[in-house]
Amino acid sequence: MITSLVNRGGRAGVRRGERVADVETASGGRLSSDPMELLRRFDEFRSWAAGLAGDVFTDAVDESALGPPVPAPQKVFGVGLNYTDHAEEAGLELPTEPLIFTKFPSCLVGPRADVVLTSNRVDYEVELVAVVGEGGRNIAEKDALARLAGYCVGQDISDRRMQFAGKPPQFSMGKSVDTFGPIGPGVVALDSLADPNDLALSCAVSGEVRQEARTSLMVFAVPELVAWLSRHCTLVPGDLIFTGTPAGVGSVREPRRYLASGDTITSTIESLGTMVNRCVPGEA
Ligand code: ZN
């Protein structure tokens, strides 16, 4: 059974299956209650968590009460056009090096949080999110996965009206509105995964599957993204990389299919879990 780091009301929890325990309590105070502090010492957390007996997990998981497992990262990177089929559906050429934008950390919410629709052109994008562990600068591709704490599921919600209001488009604001960054349910260490470079991911809107792909189809795989980013920025524990979305987003469908109030967005990645986010109307 997979063990993960979750955020329960701002306190770090350790989850195994459908059971969870408070990290600080279960460790007798040896480990911090702060999820960000645990990401700075993730190897210690992971080896402690792996050795826990089943009876330590005292509580049933309440998914609706989970916050973003990484609540306050220093940096949140997004990657544009990182799946061939998505670039094709958008009618855009594949980038020759990673196309990076920012999501401001204030957009992050938990795996069951509501997404506030700011216009009638808000769109979904299921994405694998890489969570930096040790991080560093000038990381070689072969060392990149070892510098991560793990992965979680993410939604790169985008207001296409704001994103494409002018030329050139403004990605960062259109993707950084409050609630536009659901992540979760927890951070799963990469050694829990059979192949961290090949995971099935999917997104359904109100039960209709809209996106279905594998992370092995990325243009720039996670190790390449980590190496490229770390040539320019120092990566620190908790930094997030939204690694891009596959084909099937609403804005390039015929006819277009944007999110509507009352829709539920169900985002699943193999071995990492599922998020369910409900769309609610924004203030007029
Ligand atoms: Zn995206």
What structural domains and CATH numbers belong to the chain? 3-61 (no CATH), 76-281 (3.90.850.10)
pLDDT at 283: 73
pLDDT at 252: 86
Give the helix, strand, coil percentages of the chain, each rounded to 5.
25, 35, 40
Q: From the CA of 26, how far away is ligand 1's center (Å)?
A: 37
Query: Ligand 1 centroid to 117 CA: how many Å?
Result: 17
Place of tokens 């993707």: 175
For residue 154, the model assigns a pLDDT of 98
Cα-to-centroid distance, 51 and ligand 1 (Å)? 36
C-alpha 9 – ligand 1 centre gap (Å): 27
Per-10-residue mean pLDDT, the chain, length 284: 95 97 97 98 96 95 97 98 91 93 98 97 98 97 98 97 92 96 97 95 97 97 98 98 95 91 98 98 78
The structure's pTM equals 0.97
- How confident is the model at residue 1, as a pLDDT? 84
| SS3 at position 178 | coil
* The predicted structure's pLDDT at residue 87: 87
Alpha-carbon distance 200 to 165, whole Å?
33
Alpha-carbon dihedral angle through residues 243, 185, 201, 255, given to the nearest 10 degrees: -90
DSSP label of 36: H
Measured distance CA(160)–CA(32) in Å, rounded? 40
How far is the centre of ligand 1, averaged over its atoms, from the C-alpha of 66 (Å)? Answer: 23
Q: What is the model's pLDDT at position 253?
A: 87
C-alpha of residue 20 to centroid of ligand 1, in Å: 30
The DSSP 8-state label assigned to residue 175 in this structure reads T
What per-residue confidence (pLDDT) applies to 284? 56
